[in-house]
Structure 1
Amino acid sequence: MFYWFLKWVAIGPLLRLVFRPQTEGIENVPDEGPALLVCNHLSYADWLFMPLTLPRRVTFVAKAEYFTTPGLKGWFQRKFFAGAGQVPIDRSGASAAEGALTSAQRVLDKGELFGIFPEGTRSHDGKLYRGKTGVARLALLTGVPVIPTAVVGTDVVAPPGKKFGRVTRPVVRFGRPLDFSRYEGLENDRYILRSVTDEIMYEIMTLSGQEYVDLYATRAKEQAKERAKEAKDDESSAAERSRAS
């Protein structure tokens, strides 16, 4: 009940009034039964706007810290994230991927919708990065429909590194369900998992219009930081040479 209060009475109407999100392909999401919503990840606001366009609850995994903070702030935080369809997962350990997989299976076994961001982290530059194969393994283990999903414009509302950017109308696009039943029983074949993941990412790319980069987002961020550091060092060296001359 708290989820419906949160969505329709508290935050939902405000977000709809201010941002007026647009939806395309909502008929591709089943009215009942389990489905896996696989989405690109431009902003921390993605998990708010994507479910907002649907009449059904969408569950995601969230950092365990959101559920363990003590005090009054922690109580409100737990209520907020639990009500918004988040389930806690410790993402710091080696078993994080398995924990997320188990949580997702529980949600899908109950006939609900589960949302996942296969890039694993937000895009720092608006490009679409290589998907992690956990999404394929989950799809093959559960056999549920896979709905490729794209959010567009959330990185304008909440750009990387900022809490808020500017008001725009985000668009949420739901693609036609993908069926991977032909790969049943092959959830441990790494070549099949990569093939399924790449197929899903291709559909997301088509829906979002993003440029695709065949590199994991975490590595891309590291490279961007390395280039920024090198550029800064070069500037410092040039300034020192200028002063010396």
Structure 2
Amino acid sequence: MDENTDPQNASPGRIGVTYRLIAVVVRAASRVLARREWRGGHHLPVAGGYLTVINHNSYVDALAYGHFQYSSGKPPHFFVKASLFKVPVLGAVLRATGQIPVERRSSRAADSLRAAYEAVRRGECVAIYPEGTLTRDPDLWPGQPKTGAARLALMTRAPVIPVAQWGAHEIAPPYARGGRRVRFRPRPTLVVHAGPPVDLSDLFDAGLTVPVLREASNRIMDAIVALLEEIRGEQRPPGNGT
């Protein structure tokens, strides 16, 4: 289903100037360079903060998902490596659009979680790749999820919307598989499907223990995989991502 028939394809509301300018460029480019198939926008909450959890199989899939999410009227705030905030121009753009710096393996690693928590409490959308990195599966199925998305979900008790995307890897395959570079021919179709919220309500008062976080993480990833299986028309092979 094209974005124009998606019931959640609303005009953006309270969005900063920088975000709007970037969106104009990305949307114009995507219309020329790729086809789009967007579904499930009605699952994105109209009011209040929430999390979206997405599979990650290309360096450019954030643009496809970001376009889909932006058109809901609530742009996404991603976790981004803190080092990128120091890059001239790029750092200024990341700060202006409210992206969340992540400093792994440091005493400030928890700052990103606090920043994301506050963003959700303010009514924003925080977008998370549960794997924490590009998939390394040769068939591009999601791998083992980390517990960050589950921890944030249980802390905020906000809706968790699973999103599966497919097609961006045709433009920029992860780790340049087979030596391929960025390409737009044949014209790819960027598919983004959102599903209903993942039910974690029975875990809210169970404590942030390792078993609870693992259970929540698995539910989140299972919901993403189910959407991806629908998009790809095949099931994930047993053992992948477990």
Task: Name the counterpart of 1:90.
Answer: 103
Match of 1:114, SS state, is strand
Under a length normalisation based on structure 1, what TM-score does the superposition of the two structures give? 0.78
CA distance in 1, matches of 2:85, 2:120: 22
Match of 1:196, SS state, is helix
1:120 aligns with 2:132: yes
Task: Read off the aligned partner of 2:23 and give its amino acid letter.
Answer: K
Instruction: Note the C-alpha offset of 1:11.
Output: 2.3
Q: String of CA shifts for 1:211-230, please: whole Å, max 9, x gaps.
A: 26245xxxxxxxxxxxxxxx
Instruction: Note the C-alpha offset of 1:185.
Output: 2.7
Match 1:43 to one of 54, 58, 64 = 58
Q: Which runs of 5+ in 1 are unaligned?
A: 216-245
1:18 aligns with 2:33: yes
CA distance in 2, matches of 1:139, 1:172: 22
CA distance in 2, matches of 1:47, 1:64: 17
Match 1:103 to one of 115, 121, 133 = 115
In the TM superposition, structure 1's runs of 4+ consecutive aligned residues that sit over 3 Å from their partners are 82-85
Question: Could you tell me whether the CA contact under 8 Å between 2:141 and 2:241 is conserved in 1?
Answer: no
CA radius of gyration, larger in? 1
Match of 2:189, SS state, is coil
Q: Which runs of 5+ in 2 are unaligned?
A: 1-16, 230-234
Tell me whether 203-212 or 139-148 shows the greater mean CA deviation: 203-212
Under a length normalisation based on structure 2, what TM-score does the superposition of the two structures give? 0.79
Tell me whether 107-116 or 155-164 shows the greater mean CA deviation: 155-164
Measured on the aligned residues, the alpha-carbon RMSD in Å equals 1.9
CA distance in 2, matches of 1:121, 1:160: 10
Task: Name the counterpart of 1:7.
Answer: 23
Instruction: Note the C-alpha offset of 1:77.
Output: 1.0
Task: Name the counterpart of 2:169.
Answer: 155
CA distance in 1, matches of 2:30, 2:125: 21
Question: Could you tell me whether the CA contact under 8 Å between 2:198 and 2:219 is conserved in 1?
Answer: no
Instruction: Note the C-alpha offset of 1:84.
Output: 5.0
Question: Could you tell me whether the CA contact under 8 Å between 2:198 and 2:223 is conserved in 1?
Answer: no
Task: Name the counterpart of 2:215.
Answer: 195
Task: Read off the aligned partner of 1:13 and give its amino acid letter.
Answer: A
Task: Read off the aligned partner of 2:124 and give its amino acid letter.
Answer: E
Equivalent pairs: percent with the same residue?
30
Task: Read off the aligned partner of 1:164 and give its amino acid letter.
Answer: V
Instruction: Note the C-alpha offset of 1:207.
Output: 0.6
Give the aligned length.
208
CA distance in 1, matches of 2:191, 2:241: 25
Question: Could you tell me whether the CA contact under 8 Å between 1:40 and 1:118 is conserved in 2?
Answer: yes
Q: String of CA shifts for 1:24-79, please: whole Å, max 9, x gaps.
A: 1111011231111001110111211102013221000111121113xxxx0x2123
